[in-house]
Structure 1
Amino acid sequence: MSYMHVPSEDGRQVRHMNRRLSRRLLAIALTVGGVTGGSLGLLAPQAAAAPASDGFECDGQIFQSAGSTTSVKLYTGTVGPGTVDFSPLGPTGPGYNAIGVDPDTQYIFAMRRDNNHLLQINKTGTVKDLGAIAGLPSSTDYYIGGFDKAGDFFVAGNETPLYKIDIKQRTVISKTTLSAPLGGGVGDITYASGYFWSATIDGFIQRIDPASGKVTNFSGMVPATKQGYGGAFTYGNNDLGFFDNGGTLNRIAVKNPAAAAPTFTLVSSQEAAAASAVDGAACFVARADLQVIKVAPLEVDEGAPVSYQIVVTNNGPADSSGWTVNDTLPTLLQNPTTSTPGCTITGSQMSCTGGALPVGESATITVTGMAPIPGGVVLDNTVTVRGNDPDPKPENNESKTTTEVVPVPLIDPAVGAAAVAGASALGTVVLRRRRNTGEEAR
């Protein structure tokens, strides 16, 4: 582009053109910077790379690899009431471990165990050997691994440093020495809230800072197991999933993950297939707003049946891949029971797990029990739902109810005896409640 200079004795025309030119250049700068009608900003960020066409859908998929050091099969999990059922995907591959899903391409990557080559697995289960990783010592079996949020792949072996790998260049970016070895039975790590997490054979959860290498142990946070926790993954809401090789998937919620003493809660335990050389990964992208509502009577008589209904609804925008309901039932509720599939009650704790829930559909849980005797008390109850997928509206994940237990008036013994005598003469049976027993006397 060129501009013509027009002479002027007083320079006003030149200054006028300079001002117009300045305004044009500013308008161009604002347009390039992605700012209109506002202050000058930086260039707009480029859009994130699109997933590979043969990458996984990441619609709440849970993966498990199992087999031996020389031969491994990949499985995809289907969450159902109380269980996770796995189906084989693709051909059997060479022995591999340390699987993780790259958040960019949505391929699974893994470490081949006989030569430490980097493997890539697509959505058909086809395994591709990408070759050796520059800078990675070849003398170690790297069976522990996972991706961070930025798409860097981290691997480790038995008492080795944590290696950060650029999968595109197949080279080690950095090596971080861990402050303590990963505990017994640790077979995998998973990334959440800025840390990697693992579970040990004796029930510890370990928090690993990938930047500093600091390893912090928290005792008694998962059930101890003889077989070890071979697989780990992160749910869409940042809960942790740990596969016990003996056939259980334990889901752990972590509150204040960066604190000196985070709060860990065992959300659910689901049956899964027992296997050897287990590893785990997952991929959650779709968002599902799950809402829970608990329906309870406003009042009941002492000693009378109490019935609750819990309704979980998916408000979208995507289908839910699964969910867990936790309900701390009132301690005064007598003999709580449920026949809803996927639900268990231990003491006053009820846990229910469910499978896929399409947009607009609901799942209903029914719980029954008996009101306590004597009355004059209140049954307070809070129920929560945790979706497997990211939830854009967590404020509707909780529902509270209050039920008043009403005392039943006693009949005066003298009046009661006369009433019974009169009723007997008429062939009628009268029931009188005995105080503090819940029994009925004729």
Structure 2
Amino acid sequence: MLAILTMLLVPTAAYAQPVADIGELTAFDGNAPKIFIAQAPEGASTTQFYEVIQNNSGGSTFEPAFSVDSLRVNAIAFNPDDRFVYAYVQRSTDVSTPAGSVVAIGQNGDYARIGTSTFLSAEGTTLLNAGDIDNDGIYYLHRSDTASRSVTIERVDIATGSSLGRTDLTASGTTGAPDFVWESGYLIGLGSDGRFVRFDPATSSIDYFPAPDSMPLGVYGGVWKYGSGNIGLSFNGGGIYRVKVDNIATTPTFTLINRIDGPGSFNNDATSIPAPPVDLGIVKTAAFVDASQNQIAYTVTVTNNGPGVSTGHSFSDPIGADFSGFTASDPACTIDARVLTCSSGPLQVGETRTYEFVGNLLTAEAGRCYVNVASVAGNELDANPANNVSAAQLCIDPDVRVSKSVDPASGTTVTEGQELEYTLVFENTGVSDAPVTYDDVLTDVLDDSFVVSAPVASSSVLTASSIENGRFTVNGTLAAGQTVTVSYTVEVNGDGERGNDQLDNFVVPAGATPPATCLDTDALCTSNPVSSLSVTKSSDPASGTAVADGKTVNYTLTFTHSSASANADAVSLDYTDSLGSVLDDADLTTEPMASASEITVVRSGDVIRITGDIPVGTSFTVTYAVTVKNYAEQGDHLLANFVTGTGDAPPSECVTENTLCTEHPTTAPAAAAPAAAEVTNAENRSGLPSTGAGVAGGIAAVILLLSAGLTLVLARRRASAV
């Protein structure tokens, strides 16, 4: 029936004209799918065609397409063989095309009369208002709104425009359908009483079947078939309904796929122009938003994989009994009778449309999986239905997340005497209680360190056992959303008391064997190499050797990084060599010099500072030399020297086992012997004979005094700090 829309529809600016022959018409584009609604206001002699455009907000609009000049037409039907729209003329101001004629209409609205026959209703009127074309080119015409029961269906050959006969439906009863479509050998329409009508032209029989309950009662004046095979119906009260038909030849069932908003209308008629098939694919995913509240977020993505353009689609997602509280903010989506339906408009090849919505689980049972299935249906024929369904599954299993950390952080090189604090974190991110049974394996920690504080849990829901055979066990149960930590501390052993200089630590399920190595990406292990720096000071001559005036003493400071772990970072040096108690007795004759550029040596007065980085497996030296002053110019007659960490105080004395210090006492020069003449004169003056004993005794006395003085100096020197 012709559509008189309740909304204001603006007609096209120009009207198309009649042509003499169908060969002069332009066929509709085979790659441009369209749905047409035709209307002519009461009393009008021109028909306006509108294209139904589906949008992305779950609705549609009627956009002016073209007008058919001088004719009021109805019962429009598309013929896929020649790609023209055929129509029945109800009223005409074109004398060459009288009322009752059949015309073919091209894509710009031009028309041509088919044959010379005219067709009237059983009452002799030109009010035939329902029509469609079967696969053999037969055009079926019918009047649905007669008050009498003298109802007919006229069959017209669209190639010639001649009648193929009339079927009298008086004995079978009126169809009651204001429009119908051809489907698999039958004409299908929907009556205003809420029943679908199936008319069988071969037997002239009519059968009735219930429509879905969600479809309102009333007149569905425009009916068409989508390329997908589904039936579209325009409700006069507003809205477009898409229905899937199954088992049409036996006991048909009619399932509502979706409803989209659309203008209200009456006296309407419709047809569709199919296009190449498409391949719509759907992918659905699910994830918990807030596990403690059982809230779930769903994402559905629809993609047009081509080759044709999709004019619209919808997907449906039944909400199972285990779910509640579903909401969708997308205006294209609605929820009715526990079915979520989203409808959207055109998709170009390769284009996608994404929908998001949330819902809740009524109950979450550990170990159970919950599944939601969404299916998509497009307006066009889908060449690959295998990807039209997608399921999203959520399994409710206890979900305990375990991680391990250490302070200083994993990967940091540590040194002897340094403490490391380990922390294990157990977090239940699931929705139910979860058991915890894990081992912390610290075999490769305890070969290089000792435990300062034993493992202890932050909550009594978990217990940490004592350490046995290099591991301890954490047991207990975590409530949903609960987090508990276990911590302990170790201290790095001194040099010579360590194993492989690598503190590797692993968390594993109870009884499991840890990995061979700790990867940087593994949250269940930590690794800390240990540096081993050796610093020594030596001299030539060796420490403790007495040195005389003018003697040169060569000093060597040796820095060696000999960690057993190849992962140890380079060691940073910062040492000081104080020369204050050397340079009071000697002069610096060779400035300090490093053996490698990695070491920086700076002397400021009597202080040498050594800084730099020493990679593992390397050894560097710093050397310098002094020359002993004349004895009379010396200070305390002891070259004493200590190497310390910068800022540290040196020890009070240099003991033999200390490799960071050296000392060298200086020797006084020997006294000169008296001249022979002086001795003789002395003897003569004394009147005593010269026996030699006096001279020897005097020399011995002098030596004794000198030795006593040197001993006193050394004793005082050792008593003072250098």
Q: TM-score scaled by structure 2?
A: 0.48
Matching of residue 84 in structure 1 with residue 108 in structure 2? no
Q: Distance in 2 between matches of 1:73 and 1:187?
A: 19
**2:233 is paired with a residue of what secondary structure?**
strand
CA contact (8 A) 2:211 2:254 kept: no
**2:306 is paired with a residue of what secondary structure?**
strand
Counting only pairs closer than 5 Å after superposition, residues 114-153 of structure 1 correspond to structure 2 as 114=91, 115-130=99-114, 132-133=116-117, 138-153=124-139
Q: Distance in 1 between matches of 2:24 and 2:280?
A: 29
Q: Distance in 1 between matches of 2:344 and 2:24?
A: 30
Q: Distance in 2 between matches of 1:349 and 1:69?
A: 40
CA contact (8 A) 1:73 1:91 kept: yes
Q: Distance in 2 between matches of 1:225 and 1:234?
A: 20
CA contact (8 A) 1:327 1:383 kept: yes
**1:327 is paired with a residue of what secondary structure?**
strand
CA shift, 1:149, in A, is 2.2
Code of the aligned partner of 1:123:
Q
Equivalence for 2:259: 269
Q: 1:378 to 1:52 in 2, by over 3 A?
A: farther
Code of the aligned partner of 1:289:
D
Code of the aligned partner of 1:64:
I
Counting only pairs closer than 5 Å after superposition, residues 69-218 of structure 1 correspond to structure 2 as 69-71=42-44, 72-81=47-56, 82-91=58-67, 93=69, 94-114=71-91, 115-130=99-114, 132-133=116-117, 138-158=124-144, 159-178=150-169, 180-184=172-176, 186-218=177-209
Matching of residue 354 in structure 1 with residue 344 in structure 2? yes
Equivalence for 1:383: 374
Over residues 1-20 of structure 1, what are the superposed CA-to-partner deviations in whole Å (9 max), with x where a residue is unaligned?
xxxxxxxxxxxxxxxxxxxx
Equivalence for 1:55: 27
**1:247 is paired with a residue of what secondary structure?**
coil
Equivalence for 1:32: none
Higher relative contact order (CA 8 A, sep 6+): 1
CA shift, 1:264, in A, is 1.6
**1:296 is paired with a residue of what secondary structure?**
strand
CA shift, 1:224, in A, is 5.5
CA contact (8 A) 1:136 1:171 kept: no
CA shift, 1:92, in A, is 5.7
Q: 1:277 to 1:299 in 2, by over 3 A?
A: closer
**2:240 is paired with a residue of what secondary structure?**
strand
CA shift, 1:361, in A, is 1.5
CA shift, 1:366, in A, is 0.8
Q: Distance in 2 between matches of 1:90 and 1:288?
A: 27
Code of the aligned partner of 1:157:
R
Code of the aligned partner of 2:84:
Y
Over residues 177-211 of structure 1, what are the superposed CA-to-partner deviations in whole Å (9 max), with x where a residue is unaligned?
33633444x21111122211000112111111122
**Quick one: which of 391, 398, 401 aligns to 1:400?**
391
Equivalence for 1:22: none
Counting only pairs closer than 5 Å after superposition, residues 250-289 of structure 1 correspond to structure 2 as 250-259=241-250, 261-289=251-279
CA shift, 1:219, in A, is 1.9
CA shift, 1:338, in A, is 1.1
CA shift, 1:300, in A, is 7.7
**2:279 is paired with a residue of what secondary structure?**
strand
CA shift, 1:244, in A, is 0.8
Matching of residue 238 in structure 1 with residue 229 in structure 2? yes
Q: Distance in 1 between matches of 2:362 and 2:280?
A: 33
Over residues 217-264 of structure 1, what are the superposed CA-to-partner deviations in whole Å (9 max), with x where a residue is unaligned?
0023365656511110011111111111111111110122112x2222
CA shift, 1:285, in A, is 2.6
Q: 1:375 to 1:347 in 2, by over 3 A?
A: farther
Code of the aligned partner of 1:144:
A
Percentage of matched positions with identical amino acids: 26
CA contact (8 A) 2:175 2:206 kept: no
**2:372 is paired with a residue of what secondary structure?**
strand
Q: Distance in 2 between matches of 1:264 and 1:52?
A: 41
**1:288 is paired with a residue of what secondary structure?**
coil
Over residues 59-79 of structure 1, what are the superposed CA-to-partner deviations in whole Å (9 max), with x where a residue is unaligned?
321010123354332111111
Equivalence for 1:409: 433
CA shift, 1:129, in A, is 4.7
Structure 2: stretches of 5+ with no match in the other structure: 1-22, 92-98, 145-149, 398-430, 436-457, 462-477, 482-722
Counting only pairs closer than 5 Å after superposition, residues 15-30 of structure 1 correspond to structure 2 as none
Equivalence for 1:290: 280
Q: 1:132 to 1:226 in 2, by over 3 A?
A: farther
Q: 1:126 to 1:271 in 2, by over 3 A?
A: farther
CA shift, 1:272, in A, is 1.4
Most deviating of 217-226 and 349-358: 217-226
Over residues 256-281 of structure 1, what are the superposed CA-to-partner deviations in whole Å (9 max), with x where a residue is unaligned?
2112x222210011111112320010
Q: Distance in 2 between matches of 1:69 and 1:156?
A: 20
**2:188 is paired with a residue of what secondary structure?**
strand
CA contact (8 A) 1:176 1:212 kept: no
Q: Distance in 2 between matches of 1:70 and 1:112?
A: 14
CA contact (8 A) 2:432 2:479 kept: no
Q: Distance in 2 between matches of 1:320 and 1:164?
A: 33
Equivalence for 2:666: none
**1:63 is paired with a residue of what secondary structure?**
strand
Q: 1:222 to 1:107 in 2, by over 3 A?
A: farther
CA shift, 1:143, in A, is 0.5
Equivalence for 1:345: 335
Q: Distance in 2 between matches of 1:312 and 1:224?
A: 26
Equivalence for 1:330: 320
CA shift, 1:139, in A, is 3.1
**Quick one: which of 360, 363, 372 aligns to 2:353?**
363
CA shift, 1:216, in A, is 0.9
Most deviating of 224-233 and 195-204: 224-233
Equivalence for 1:37: none
Q: 1:342 to 1:255 in 2, by over 3 A?
A: same
Equivalence for 1:13: none
Over residues 118-159 of structure 1, what are the superposed CA-to-partner deviations in whole Å (9 max), with x where a residue is unaligned?
133221133445565257565351101111123221101145
Q: 1:285 to 1:171 in 2, by over 3 A?
A: same
CA contact (8 A) 1:70 1:113 kept: no
Equivalence for 2:659: none
Q: 1:90 to 1:208 in 2, by over 3 A?
A: same
